[in-house]
Amino acid sequence: MKARGYSSARMKFISVGLASIVAGITLFIVYFGLCYLGATASTLFPENVDKGLLVMSISTRIFGSFGTFVLSIVIGLACLTTAIALAASMGTFFSTLTDGKISYRNATVFSCVFSAVVANFGLNTIIELAAPILTIVYPGVLAVIFLSLFDRHIKNDSVFRLAAAGAIAVSFCEVMTWYWPDAFVFLKSLPLQEFGFGWIIPSAVCAFIGFFINRPARVMV
């Protein structure tokens, strides 16, 4: 937005807000449609069907061969934009993290090559590998993003660190129950756990504790 000339806080707020609303509404329509198709077509396919094959088969049943063609274009464009953004972000992150010892170009090329190799593992395998990692990481990321909205009022970096640590600790325990169902039974007693948000209260408690551990804040919006 700065590059486009939106310099004032009000202009940036309005432009980002409108873009977020449009993106949120359209994404809701897309994913609601996918959820609806998955729910209504659940009896037409075996439970262990490949996820990619499932989407393609549903599209073919509804629109025929033309639907498969359109679906391939839509998924290709969606994945391309995401891949470009993630590869560029990874290149920037590692270049900045290493103070230029790893160049942006090398990090980006490695990201693209690594992704091309992993893509051949198949969708189900990728989901199995990524699901535990994302389940562990996302709550901590969400906690930091939420606190970053108030970073001007939070002068202690420990608030961010402990909030993320608390959320990740709970989500890690939750992932462990996938493999050992009887482990960490205390998770069932956490508020909001039935909705998948059991990490919120522990994260908030850890953030409160962080207020009393002095460390200058460095999180910026």
Q: Tell me the average pLDDT across 78-87.
A: 88
C-alpha of 89 from chain center: 14
Residue 154's contacts (CB-CB under 8 Å, 6 or more residues apart) are 147, 160, 217, 219
What's the pLDDT at 25?
Answer: 95
pTM of the model: 0.60
What's the pLDDT at 87?
Answer: 92
pLDDT level of residue 153 (50, 70, 90 thresholds): confident
Nearest to 156 by CA among 221, 214, 219: 214
What's the pLDDT at 219?
Answer: 46
Residue 52's contacts (CB-CB under 8 Å, 6 or more residues apart) are 123
C-alpha of 128 from chain center: 16
Structure token pair of residue 34:
């996918």
- The residue behind tokens 């609601």 is 32
**Rounded to whole angstroms, how far apart are CA atoms 174 and 180?**
10
pLDDT above 50 for 221: no
